Amino acid sequence: MIEVQEIRIDPDTRRAWRGEEEITLSRKEFDLVHKLISRAGEVVSREELMRDVWHANFWTSSKTIDVHLGWVRRKLGDDSRHPHLITTIRGKGLRFERGDVAV
């Protein structure tokens, strides 16, 4: 089990929760959350996400990550305008925050 902030995932059963509520994630959504939450506090590059989540060594579309990230943020209850779970580090990648981000 991996738990950061109010999000908990079980990599073995591929299940996720926000607080006590179970969240249904697609396979790619789960893989994206797992990659980010397992390295909470660290910036994960878009290249690394494409390689490890989409198993691609090239950019199929620069929007692939953004689209999935939008779906994940909605499901996790993370406001894209003022995110507290997953933040975009411009020019570097994404980071799953360990605690509340000052807004």
pLDDT digit string, tens, across residues 11-60 = 999 999 999 999 999 999 999 999 999 999 999 999 999 999 988 876 66
Classify residue 103: in a domain, yes or no. no
Q: Specify if 102 maps to a domain.
A: no
Strands 93-96 and 7-10: unpaired
Structural domain count of the chain: 1
- Mean pLDDT across 65-81: 94
What pLDDT, on a 0 to 100 scale, did the predictor assign at position 60?
A: 60
The mean pLDDT value of the chain amounts to 91
Distances from the Cα of 14 to the Cαs of 27, 43, 101, in angstroms?
A: 8, 23, 27
Read off the pTM. 0.90
Domain of 35? 2-96
The answer to whether residue 88 is domain-embedded is yes
Q: In the numeric block, which tokens belong to residue 85? A: 């779970």
Structure tokens at 81: 């305008």
* CATH number of the domain encompassing residue 77: 1.10.10.10
Asked whether residue 101 is assigned to any structural domain, the reply reads no
pLDDT at 33: 98
Q: How far apart, in Å, do the first and last CA atoms of the chain sit?
A: 29
Residue type at 33?
V
